[in-house]
Amino acid sequence: MSQGLFTRTHERGPVRDQVSSRAWLQAMLDAEAALAAACAEAGVVPAQAAAEISAACADVGAYDERELGVLAERTGNPVVGLVAAIRAASPREFAAHVHYGATSQDIIDTAAMLVTSRAISALMQDLDGCAVVTADLAHLHRDAPMIARTLLQQAVPITFGLKAAQWLHGLCVVRAQLLAVQERLPAQLGGAAGSLDGYPDAATGLQIAEMFAARLGLAAARGPWHTLRYPIGDVAGGLATTAGILGKIALDLLLLVQNEVAEITMALDRRGGSSTMAHKRNPVAAVAARSATMRAPGLAATLFSAMEQEHERAAGAWHAEWLTLSDLLTCVGSAAAWLHDALGSVRVDEQQMARNLAALGTGAAPHGVTTLIDRALADYRTRDHNDQPTTTNEGTN
């Protein structure tokens, strides 16, 4: 991707590469190859045709993204030009079998699900990294007393371990939710108007749709969802919730690192300098994480607003999803990457926490907080064995 003025700040982490134009093109080629193979398996196209088409789809570098983008401007989507290019790259006698029985939306929707699945896997790297650090903080500072704050006012004693355990609990919940969303991502195959009319009969079409999904590692939908955008809503909700949890943690860090509070510090590096105040060391990573999460609700809202689509094919709403979905995945991935960085730089000042607590004149934290910390840590430790809820129906894993 090009490196502009804001790219390194707003597109941090591995997710951005999974939603690039090249990644989308790769996903479309994967979809076309899987479709040909599924059609051959069902006996509606020759096996040799599927092999040749798969070979033509094997090298993403053989296709010019920019040229396909120019063609998309004329046709309304990039699949028309891509299908023509794949046919040109296939032996003439098999060219007619490219894109067999499908419509452009089948390929783009399936590519969107592949892109989303791959981006979620990339996002998990930093989301899991955040969980590792918060688990360590909860364990190391489980008994460090501090003052809780409600409505931004000093409240009752807790421990920093409990605060970190609450962060961990939120991270575990959204991790389980995103993995569940990823598992449900469905392939799309319906043909021109969602009736599978491009195949000998509907039963054969459904069989091909199931084999198509299986080859791509996607779920098999019960039927075409061309204008039933529940998968997009599912993704938007999961990502928006994840952004909310990441943003909450980033905001807590920003409040705790204030000079007036100073209960944590962040390790100094080359970041954080001020253009006018040499003494300042701004918490850049936490600020950048929060800025990314604040973009997520608007992007999710655009995807939700686009769910109302006309009849059997949308006139504009579907098209509005493409870049919005990529942007939402990017900003949530960026938030996770920045927060991972921020959490890794946290240094807890237990003495300052004790001083702030003593100034309030209250007692020690209640013993019950250790039970809550232990529960959060236990849920976290069992997540790799079972990504389903372990103790409640809230999604904690």
pLDDT tens-digit map of 204-259: 999 999 999 999 999 999 999 999 999 999 999 999 999 999 999 999 999 999 99
274 is catalytic: yes
Provide, rounded to the nearest whole percent, the portion of the chain with pLDDT above 70: 92
**Does the pLDDT value for residue 396 go beyond 60?**
no
Cα(283)–Cα(256) distance, integer angstroms: 11
Burial class (CB in 10 A: 0-12, 13-18, 19+), 140: middle
Counted residue by residue, the chain has a size of 397
Catalytic residue among 274, 305, 355, 381: 274
CATH architecture of 8-381: Up-down Bundle (1.20)
Q: What are the tens digits of pLDDT across the range 115-167?
A: 999 999 999 999 999 999 999 999 999 999 999 999 989 889 999 999 999 99
pLDDT band at 268; cut points 50, 70, 90: low
Catalytic residue among 22, 271, 281, 313: 313
Residue of 106, 236, 97, 226 lying closest to 177 (CA atoms): 236
Complete DSSP assignment for 255-277: HHTSTTT-SEEE---S----SS-
Q: Looking at residue 274, what is its pLDDT?
A: 46
Sketch the domain layout of the chain as residue ranges: 8-381
313 is catalytic: yes
Interval 177-212: pLDDT, tens:
999 999 999 999 999 999 999 999 999 999 999 999
- Note the pTM of the prediction, 2 decimals: 0.92
* Strand 346-348, strand 145-150: pairing: unpaired
d(CA 2, CA 77): 23
The whole-number pLDDT of residue 273 equals 53
